[in-house]
Structure 1
Amino acid sequence: MLDKYVIPLIKKPLNSAASYCLHYHIKADQVTVISFVIGLFALPALWLQHYHLALLLIILNRIGDGLDGAIARKTQPSDAGGFLDISLDFLFYALIPFGFLLANPEQNAFYAALLIVSFVGTGSSFLAFASIAGKRNIANPVYQNKSLYYMSGIAEGTETIAFFIAFCLWPHAFPQLATIFAVLCLLTTFNRIWAGYRTIQVSEMTEDDHNENL
């Protein structure tokens, strides 16, 4: 929901950092993998309840996630790079609630599981629509530079980062915060399913009308 407002604000610093990386021949895929590895270390940090360290690692991971796209846009974006980026992103997203589950199973297990289930909903609806949108050449007027059709919703990247930061700052409030975020993710899932279904249905009807007129 907030990505379309935040992305223009961070575009300039990311482009500057991307130019610096390109000067030293650092590629987008390399940044993607390094950022993911950094993010992986957030899991043991959360497990050991080093929440401030985990917060730093999460922020570095997310900066890297923005930087790899900026580098790709300055060179030649590739489908392979887009696939790698989105795959590692969704895996990283699932690791964070799992880390809070490990930190305090008695308090967090149910809410972490609920949040991971909601992530499955947002991720599956996002990727399922993106695959069909690409097949049917459905235009994406909002996020034209994305490798996949980026379907907007209430819970997007900005909201995810905000809640991850809140989890680390107030770990004892994880059950309440995770419940709120899970509800937002589930609302996003249902909206994406309905909007995606209607969009694909309209595309099919338009194609059928076109074929009949040939």
Structure 2
Amino acid sequence: MFDAMLRRRLDAPLARAAGLVDRSWVTPDRITAAGLVLGLGSAATAAAAWWAVSLALWLVSRLADGLDGPLARRRRAVGRGDAGAGGFFDITADFAVYGATVVGVGIGSGGPLWPFLLVLLAYYVNGTAFLAFSSIAERSGRTLDDGRSLSFLGGLTEGAETIAVHALWLVLPFWSGEIALVWAVLVGITAVQRMVAGHRALR
């Protein structure tokens, strides 16, 4: 819901940060890989109930996730980009980190797992909706170009909300089940929004 506004505010600072790390040995894929490893580390430490460590790893992993795109666009502007491999790696890494974190928090919290299973189901349907839309929109020439590799349909819950809720789990693990239940409903609503919007856009 807040992604478009945050992107406008953060694009310039992230572009400057990308300029600072733009070295021959630093590539967008390596930053993505670092974010993936840190995110999986956050999930593992959440499962062990090391909440402070998990929170730190989570936030740093999301910072890495915010840097790989601006660096890729910077390289592409001077003819050093790829044909889409980086975008593919980025989205699959994100899904791996998000899913692993849900599992890690569910295990570490020690409570019922069913609210976290509902979150995973909502993520599955939501991800299917926007990835299917992006693929079909590309083939039919109806892409939504905001500088990212895929055509993203907006909705109630987007990247910013996901980062915030996953962080909230790690700050308030004793309420993580309740947070997960509310979050599953909100992500489910977003999935329905994207299904309806995508169908209308492709008619």
Report whether the alignment pairs 1:137 with 2:141: yes
CA distance in 2: counterparts of 1:12 and 1:137, whole angstroms? 29
Q: Which runs of structure 2 are paired with 1:85-164 in the superposition (5 Å)?
A: 85-105=90-110, 107-140=111-144, 143-164=145-166
Counterpart in 2 of 1:206?
Answer: none
Alignment check: 8 A CA contact 1:154 1:188 kept: yes
Counterpart in 2 of 1:41?
Answer: 41
CA distance in 2: counterparts of 1:37 and 1:199, whole angstroms? 36
CA distance in 2: counterparts of 1:2 and 1:144, whole angstroms? 15
Specify every segment of 5 or more residues in structure 2 that has no aligned partner in the other structure, as ranges.
none
Alignment check: 8 A CA contact 2:52 2:170 kept: yes
TM-score (normalised: structure 2):
0.93
Amino acid at match of 1:93: Y
Counterpart in 2 of 1:31?
Answer: 31
CA distance in 2: counterparts of 1:19 and 1:137, whole angstroms? 32
Alignment check: 8 A CA contact 2:109 2:173 kept: no
CA distance in 2: counterparts of 1:173 and 1:91, whole angstroms? 24
Q: Which runs of structure 2 are paired with 1:48-63 in the superposition (5 Å)?
A: 48-63=48-63
CA distance in 1: counterparts of 2:133 and 2:189, whole angstroms? 16
3-state DSSP of counterpart to 2:150: coil
Choose 1 or 2 for highest CA Rg: 1
Count of residue pairs the alignment pairs up? 198
3-state DSSP of counterpart to 1:26: coil
CA distance in 1: counterparts of 2:109 and 2:31, whole angstroms? 32
Alignment check: 8 A CA contact 2:134 2:143 kept: no
CA distance in 2: counterparts of 1:163 and 1:100, whole angstroms? 12
Counterpart in 2 of 1:186?
Answer: 188
Amino acid at match of 2:124: V
Specify every segment of 5 or more residues in structure 1 that has no aligned partner in the other structure, as ranges.
202-214
Report whether the alignment pairs 1:68 with 2:68: yes
Counterpart in 2 of 1:20?
Answer: 20
CA distance in 1: counterparts of 2:161 and 2:112, whole angstroms? 20
Residues 135-192 of structure 1 show CA distances to partners (whole Å, capped at 9, x for unaligned) of 111131xx52011101111110000011011101111111111111111100010111
Residues 95-116 of structure 1 show CA distances to partners (whole Å, capped at 9, x for unaligned) of 11100122134x1411111111
Farther off after superposition, 160-169 or 22-31: 22-31
CA distance in 2: counterparts of 1:173 and 1:154, whole angstroms? 22
CA distance in 2: counterparts of 1:108 and 1:73, whole angstroms? 43
TM-score (normalised: structure 1):
0.89
Amino acid at match of 2:41: F
Q: Pairwise CA RMSD of aligned residues?
A: 1.3
List, as ranges, runs of 4+ consecutive aligned residues in structure 1 with deviation greater than 3 Å. none
Amino acid at match of 1:154: L
